[in-house]
Structures are given as C-alpha cells and as structure tokens.
Amino acid sequence: MGTPLVTAALLIVLSEATLVSSGLIIRMVSDELPIPVIVFMRNLMGLVLLAPVLLRTLDQLATRNIHLHLVRAIVGVSSMACLYYSWSTLPLGQAALLKQTAPFFIPLVAYWWLKEAVPRRVKIALCVGFAGVALILNPQQGSIELGLFVGLAGAALGATAKVTVRRMHLTEPPKRIVFYFALFGALLSSIPAALHWVTPVGTAWLWLLGLGATSTLAQLLFTRAYAMVPAAQLGPFTYSSVVLAALLGWWLWDETIGWVTVIGMLLVFSGGVLTLNRPGRRAQPACDDVPEERKSGR
C-alpha cells in the first residue's frame, strides 16, 4: 500500500469520524432546536469559518455557471435537512449507513441527467445494495420508521448534488464550488429556519459552532483525500463511520441493531464496494473522482 493511499485513507477515516461527531451534535441539540434552524446555523457557521480563506481568493470566484451552483445548493441543503432528521431520530449506526447509500443513486441520476451508461457490474452492485436497504427497512415489523425513508431521500438528493458537481468540474475549481455552496446554502436554509425559528440559548451556541467546525473540517479532509488518489481506492474506508456511529450509539444510548439490519448493512457495504471498484476503469482526474465519494450532503 503506497504512501499516498495510506495518507488518503487516514484522511477519509478522520473525515468520517468528524461527520459522526456532527451526527452526535445534531442528536444533542435536536431536542432544543428544530431541524431547519440547525441546518441554517450549520451553513451559517460554515460560511463564517470559511470566509477568511475564501476572501483571499475573490478573483477566482467569478463563474458562468451560477445556475448549476444554485441547483447544487438546493439539492444539497435539502439532502442535509433529510439526513439531519435521520441523525436526530434513528439509531446512529442506521443514520450513518443511510448516508452511505448515496453511491447507489449516483449511477441512476447520472444516467437520467448526463446519459452516462451503467455497466453491468454496477447494475449487479445496485441490486445487492438495494436488497440491503430493503432488509434495513425491515417491513416485516409491520411499520417502517419515517426516519428511514427521510434518510434515503437525503441520500438520493446527496447523489444528485454529487452529479451536479461532476457536471461542473470542467470549469469550476473545488474552492469556487465550496464557496457558492456555503453562500447559497446559508441563504436558502434561512427561509425554512425563519418559519420555525427558535433562538439558541446557552450551550446550544457552542454545539452549533462545533457542528459548523466539524462539518467544514470533514469537507476539507475528504476533498484533500480525493485529490490524492482515485475514488475507487477510498470507497471502502468511508464505511468506517458506520462502525464508529454504531459503537457510539451503543455506548452513549444503549442502541442495539438487530441481525436483519446487520445483514442489510453487509449487503450495502458489498454493493458500495462493487459500485466503486470497477475493473478496467482508468483512474480519473481528482476533480472527477470527488463526486463519487460518500459525503454529502454535507
């Protein structure tokens, strides 16, 4: 295993750990604040934290694709709201896993929007992955948790955001994409937040600052990692968040996961690995690899 891969893998694991930290913070503050307010404050805090860096490169922010940046922000913020809801209502391990189903939607969205062909191997991977999702939903229980469907919707929207980034990568550098998402994300999320506004008090402000910091750090870490090696080599490491989240949920809240769900998780993991590791595929440039990672909705 070469040094760049080791470094990139460590960055991905650290990025996933910071995302799980974000999920913990969301769980902590969701009893005090509505999800729309949490989403807005996360975007606002992220914009504030990134502003000093971005303001030094104002000359690089001019774009002719403002409409694509807006689309990416709309679906990205919607995905964030769905995933935040799942973090606040589901066991941490399940919420983390639902976020990781985004790669199953990426080929479908890319086929519909960009007319990209779906290889046979990927079709098999999608069948395996969605079979795992069906087990996680576990309809035999007689009722399906709303948070599961909302989390899946968040993953699908996150996949659409990643395909939008793929559409932009030829003309838009990563820093410009990050800037416009932070700006439009804060503006768009302010509308539902205003309709459900609750003013944070006391330690909630510290939790929200931590949410902005961990989410922004995770974004910077995975961007750096995917600039070093192709996405196909890093995909399996993103599932470290599922293990970490499940362990933390068990430790902090005595959350347990049934065997049917565990089998579903293994199928999702297998499908995810098959989706990324495509034989005979030449390594893509770093910018083209980034959309295929599993962050999102971030």
The whole-angstrom separation of Cα 182 and Cα 176 is 10
Find all residues with CB under 8 Å of 152, minimum gap 6, and list them: 98, 101, 133
Give the number of residues written for the chain.
298
Whole-number Å distance between alpha carbons of 70 and 157: 14
Residue 239 DSSP symbol:
G
The phi, psi pair for 282, rounded to 5°, reads -70, 145
Q: Decide: 90 and 148 in contact? Cβ < 8 Å.
A: yes
Whole-prediction pTM:
0.79
Torsion, Cα of 278, 281, 282, 287 (10° steps): -60
Query: Which residues neighbour 217 within 8 Å (Cβ) at sequence distance 6 or greater?
Result: 15, 18
CA distance 296 to 226: 14
Q: Which two tokens stand for residue 83?
A: 């995933």
CA distance 46 to 183: 9
Query: Do residues 274 and 124 lie in contact, with contact meaning Cβ atoms separated by under 8 Å?
Result: yes
Task: Report yes or no: 192 and 77 within 8 Å, Cβ to Cβ.
Answer: no
Q: In the structure encoding, which two tokens stand for residue 127, read together?
A: 């069948």
Q: Which of 87, 88, 113 lies closest to 98 in space, CA to CA?
A: 87
CA distance 274 to 236: 10
Pairwise CA distance, residues 217 & 248, whole Å? 20
pLDDT mean for each 10 residues of the chain (298 residues): 77 90 93 95 87 74 87 93 93 86 81 80 84 73 72 89 80 81 92 96 92 86 74 71 86 82 83 63 40 40
pLDDT confidence of residue 140? 52
Q: Which residues, at least 6 apart from 251, have a Cβ–Cβ distance to it below 8 Å?
A: none
Cα-to-chain-centroid distance, residue 121: 24
Cβ contact 8:228 at 8 Å:
yes
Please provide the DSSP assignment of 83-100 as one string: HHHHHHHS-HHHHHHHHT
Q: What is the pLDDT of residue 233?
A: 67
Cα(290)–Cα(1) distance, integer angstroms? 21
